Structure 1
Amino acid sequence: MRRKDFDCKDSKLIVEFLNQIEFGTLVIPDSIPYAVPLSFCYEDSKIYLHGAKAGRKYALLK
Structure 2
Amino acid sequence: MGNEKIETQIARFERIIKAATVMSEQEKIALAEWEKTHVTGSGDFGTRDWPGWEAIISRILH
TM-score after normalising by structure 1: 0.24
Q: Which has the higher contact order (CA 8 A, sep 6+)?
A: 2
| Structure exhibiting the larger radius of gyration computed from Cα positions | 1
TM-score (norm. length: structure 2): 0.24
Bigger strand share:
1
